[in-house]
Amino acid sequence: MRRFLPAIAVILLLSGVQASAHEGKISGYVFGDFYWVAADHKDSIENSNGFWIRRAYLTFDQPISERFDARLRVEASSPGDFVTKDKLTPFIKDAYLRYRGAQHSVVLGLSASPTWEVVEREWGYRALEKTPLDLQKFGGSRDMGVAFLGSIGSGNKVRYHVMFGNGSDTASEVNEGKKILGSLGFYPSDKLIVEAYVDWDNLPGDTDRFTVQGFLGYKMAKGRLGFQFAHQTRKSATGADAKLEIASVYGVVKLNDRFSGVVRYDRMFDPQPEGDKISYIPFATNAKSNLFLAALDITLHKKVSLMPNVEAVFYDGQTSGDKPKTDIIPRLTFFFSF
């Protein structure tokens, strides 16, 4: 019974706010796949197949006054580790109060971090795959703390997002260290975006992490392009520091009103020591990797899409041992919002 208490609490909470829903907004979206692991470096999951919901979101936005508003968002997802048989368990994804000024805002609570907020928006296909830093566990999409964001000068061309938080994503704080994150974006036109990002995560035992990232996005009448590069240093109290670097490029082409083509390539220049913990598409931990994604977005309605796609991960040879086998995962991904 205890494991269901969070879900019951969420249902009761959302039922209670229905009476004032005319003042606010309830929305959400869901995406998942029918997948087939056609080939994999892990023999234990090769030929696995089935349906799963990778994410389900339910969001309640409530204005409080002209300057204040609040958000509560609940997320649920499948475990995605090919082992755990468990039900979708909801948890709080966002819970914040926001003050909005003319050019600047202050957000208090559990809110989106600046790590890949802009990149994910410009990529636009979270239903197909996480952004590179999210996928490769360079940070968290959320944090509990206080954030400052807005624009500098006239024209909304220079934008910032600075956050001081726990560094524990949606989990509870369990140490004295904190995380400082910041992004600065330049928007010279409605077609071009240039963003720089940096963070410092103060972790216990001299294991701090430092991340820098650059992103370039360009929009066209019939599509968009994006490129990013990131470096992360993971300090070690017992050995050499780990240094991880990743580059990614994507392209989206709108073929007509119903069809769009999507391609993406990620290059990990270093083996990912946490690769086997990546949900839905675990990576080998002992080799550099190349991720290719190709998809066709079939828009059945402005809020409903089917996306046949394939992800493939090719590995470099190792200095010792066998080269990991290629991972190939064809999927039929669905998405709908409300």
DSSP structure string for 110-136:
EEE-SSSHHHHHHH--TTT---HHHHT
Q: What is the rounded average pLDDT of the residues 153-178?
A: 93
Provide, rounded to the nearest whole percent, the portion of the chain with pLDDT above 70.
93
Q: Are 332 and 306 in contact (CB under 8 A)?
A: yes
51 alpha-carbon distance from chain centroid: 21
2-11+27-337 belongs to CATH 2.40.160.10? yes
Q: What is the rounded average pLDDT of the residues 253-280?
A: 97
Look at residue 5 and tell me whether its pLDDT is greater than 50: no
Q: What is the rounded average pLDDT of the residues 315-338?
A: 91
Look at residue 60 and tell me whether its pLDDT is greater than 80: yes
48 alpha-carbon distance from chain centroid: 24
Mean pLDDT over the full length of the chain: 93
Provide, rounded to the nearest whole percent, the portion of the chain with pLDDT above 90.
87
Q: What is the rounded average pLDDT of the residues 61-79?
A: 97
The per-residue pLDDT for 22 is 54
Q: What is the rounded average pLDDT of the residues 94-102?
A: 97
With 0-12 / 13-18 / 19 or more C-beta atoms within 10 angstroms meaning exposed / middle / buried, residue 285 is: middle
The band of 239, judged by pLDDT with boundaries at 50, 70 and 90, is confident
Better pLDDT: 30 or 87: 30
Looking up tokens 């995406």, which residue turns up? 31
Distance CA(200)–CA(183), nearest Å, equals: 12
Joined together, the tokens standing for residue 332 give 């039929």
For the ranges 17-31, 55-69, 252-266, the lowest mean pLDDT is seen at 17-31
Better pLDDT: 87 or 1: 87
What's this model's pTM, rounded to 2 decimal places?
0.91
54 CB-near residues (< 8 Å, 6+ apart)? 31, 32, 33, 77, 78, 80, 127, 280
The band of 292, judged by pLDDT with boundaries at 50, 70 and 90, is very high
For the ranges 76-80, 84-88, 102-106, 221-225, the lowest mean pLDDT is seen at 84-88
With 0-12 / 13-18 / 19 or more C-beta atoms within 10 angstroms meaning exposed / middle / buried, residue 218 is: middle
Domain ranges in the chain?
A: 2-11+27-337
Could you read off the pLDDT of 200-212 as tens digits, one per residue?
999 998 999 999 9
Q: Count Cβ neighbours within 10 Å for each residue of 31-47 and write b for 16 or more, e otherwise.
A: bbbebbbbebbbeeeee
The per-residue pLDDT for 145 is 97
Could you read off the pLDDT of 7-52 as tens digits, one per residue?
445 544 554 544 444 589 999 999 999 999 999 999 999 999 999 9
